Chain A
């Protein structure tokens, strides 16, 4: 499924880029993100807890920045699995920042997310809505933190 979101931040492009490339800054903005570890060379490990009603899980994610053009573009690949390997997730994402004036930045990201395994038995329609809601929550958290 394709998840595409955009949002505006009232802060200069260079500042927003600095924030978005700092795992210590981003992790608390990601809903359910429990811990993140910088393993060097643009690679990170994170655990993210997600759930819909009684269905709950934690994904252990390997995140790798494959390509970047500071301060405007990054291509990221995320692979993850539940502790039990019962479901696997891959996401190929592209992040684009555009300055809109001196103190405002437009953030756009597009992810192609694939889920296989037990969680794929769950309706894709709801999963997509959930992903969108989490994206909106992230945007809100990130905006507040970057503007502070």
Chain B
């Protein structure tokens, strides 16, 4: 297996284009585990660690943030500019595994791996983030909501990479919250709820909700959000929204919980997440 350490994104893309069996290597948190388990056999690894552009955080002209693909979860967890609605990202990153994994694992790796039980995908959908993809034919932007397609399957095409994630400016007074339920601290979520919520005069004026570990991709239901908007987030509205989200969920049965158990968590975690985001007593 060959090992490449390009220092520019273009060089990395050229290496990937030349060899369809090569894989980009971010922190290796998942990739090396898959190699050790002999689940993958890439012909070459293209390390992204030496590409400066992937390590930057910049404000966008629109008032949002552009986060480079190689930022670690630990960096995101302590990024002071992830406030308001975008705090959902900071909170999700802070709850990934343990410090060791947060120091190794990256935003781009988590996005590209597309594991629906991981924490960042749901947070990205709730924040209405855009994935900036770089490929042999240039760059393109894909809304997070359409980026995750199936288990471990994303909209990335052969030779393409995640270059950055763009978080939009969130509505003024929006609050983000990531509610993760796991068997033990540091485990993958049994179920999670990411919300970005804004209240005005006691009524919900903006809400985006995405569930993690609830299906093949983050689960978002526009009708559930519509049910909450304009309401005071009373128990009736929340339970109707939760019913719509539950109906759209199709979780796996595994050691972290049965499918039925995960579905049962949806209304409970949604209630907690909305309350924590300032929406309920």
Using a CB–CB cutoff of 8 Å, the interface residues on chain A facing chain B are: 52-55, 86, 118-119, 121-126, 128-130, 133
Which of B32-40, B56-64, B75-83 is found at the contact surface with chain A? B32-40
A126 cross-chain contacts in B, Cβ below 8 A: 151-152, 252, 254
- A123 to B23, alpha carbons, bound, how many Å? 22
Q: Number of contacts between A and B (CB, 8 Å)?
A: 43
Contact B151 A119 (CB under 8 A): no
Interface residues as binary, B10-52 with A (CB distance below 8 Å gives 1, 0 otherwise): 0000000000000100000000001001111000000000000
A121 cross-chain contacts in B, Cβ below 8 A: 37, 39
Q: Which of A119, A125, A130 contacts B253 (CB 8 A)?
A: A125
Q: Interface size class for chain B?
A: 10 to 19
Contact A53 B37 (CB under 8 A): no
Q: Decide: A53 near B113, CB < 8 A? Known: A118-B38, A118-B39, A129-B216.
A: yes
Q: Does B153 contact A (CB under 8 A)?
A: yes
Q: Does B218 contact A (CB under 8 A)?
A: no
- A97 to B253, alpha carbons, bound, how many Å? 29
A55 cross-chain contacts in B, Cβ below 8 A: 34, 39-40, 152
Q: Which of A52, A86, A119, A128 contacts B153 (CB 8 A)?
A: A52
Residue contacts A-B, CB under 8 angstroms, 14 given? A52-B152, A53-B114, A53-B152, A53-B153, A54-B23, A54-B40, A55-B34, A55-B39, A118-B38, A119-B39, A121-B39, A125-B252, A129-B151, A130-B151
17 extra A-B contacts, CB within 8 A, seeds A55-B40, A129-B252: A52-B151, A53-B114, A53-B152, A54-B23, A54-B34, A55-B39, A118-B38, A121-B39, A122-B37, A122-B39, A123-B252, A123-B254, A125-B252, A125-B253, A126-B152, A126-B252, A126-B254
User: Shortest beta-carbon distance, B261 to chain A, in Å?
Assistant: 12
Residue of A nearest to B116 (CB): A126
Q: Which of B152, B252, B254 contacts A54 (CB 8 A)?
A: B152
A122 cross-chain contacts in B, Cβ below 8 A: 37, 39
- A55 to B252, alpha carbons, bound, how many Å? 19
Residue of B nearest to A130 (CB): B151
B113 cross-chain contacts in A, Cβ below 8 A: 53
Question: Top 6 A-B pairs ranked by shortest CB distance?
Answer: A53-B152, A125-B252, A125-B254, A121-B37, A118-B38, A55-B39
Residue of B nearest to A124 (CB): B254
User: Shortest beta-carbon distance, A116 to chain B, in Å?
Assistant: 13
- A17 to B64, alpha carbons, bound, how many Å? 60
A54 cross-chain contacts in B, Cβ below 8 A: 23, 34, 40, 152
- A131 to B127, alpha carbons, bound, how many Å? 32
Residue of A nearest to B149 (CB): A53
Residue of A nearest to B213 (CB): A125
